[in-house]
């Protein structure tokens, strides 16, 4: 499947053809996705407690993944998904304009974050006993060197 949760997609076949929405859930085994506002189904809920009332709830139903296309956020067109490697990571790319479709991956931000992570490396942990012993022996050696 070339779609992920929170992708904006366009329905290209079926009763809801032409509608756009965000993917709420995916089911790779069944090869379906649930798109916000598409294939609305009525569900009857029975009151389970004394203070509740029975109601009819509208929920989006599953759509086959072959009936949706990812909408590129940069060119706003429905597109096929290509895969490319950038900075050693496999990313999804728009087939029309070449923009990266993965929202979590941003090329410039990851490059800037890498040096900052190296600068903020955690300090080496030293045991208290070892630190005291090192502090006691260090001044003595410096006094002997001065004589």
Helix, strand, coil percentages for the chain (3-state, nearest 5): 25, 35, 40
pLDDT band (50, 70, 90) for residue 143: low
pLDDT band (50, 70, 90) for residue 141: low
Which class in CATH covers the domain with range 1-47+54-71? mainly beta
Give me the pLDDT at residue 110, please.
47
Give me the pLDDT at residue 1, please.
83
pLDDT band (50, 70, 90) for residue 112: very low
What pTM was computed for the model? 0.65
Give me the pLDDT at residue 31, please.
96
Tokens of 61: 């139903």
């Amino acid at each position: 499947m070339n779609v992920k949760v929170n992708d904006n997609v366009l329905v290209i076949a079926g009763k809801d053809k032409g509608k756009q929405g965000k993917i709420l859930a995916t089911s790779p085994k069944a090869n379906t996705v649930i798109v916000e506002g598409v294939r609305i189904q009525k569900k009857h809920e029975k009151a389970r407690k004394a203070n509740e009332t029975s109601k009819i709830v509208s929920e989006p139903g599953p759509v086959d993944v072959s009936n949706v296309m990812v909408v590129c956020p940069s060119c706003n067109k429905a597109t096929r998904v290509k895969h490319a490697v950038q900075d050693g990571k496999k990313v999804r790319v728009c087939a029309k304009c070449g923009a990266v479709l993965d929202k979590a991956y941003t090329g410039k931000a990851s490059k800037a974050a890498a040096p900052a992570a190296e600068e903020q490396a955690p300090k080496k942990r030293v045991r208290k006993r070892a630190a005291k012993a090192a502090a006691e022996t260090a001044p003595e050696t410096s006094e002997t060197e001065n004589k």
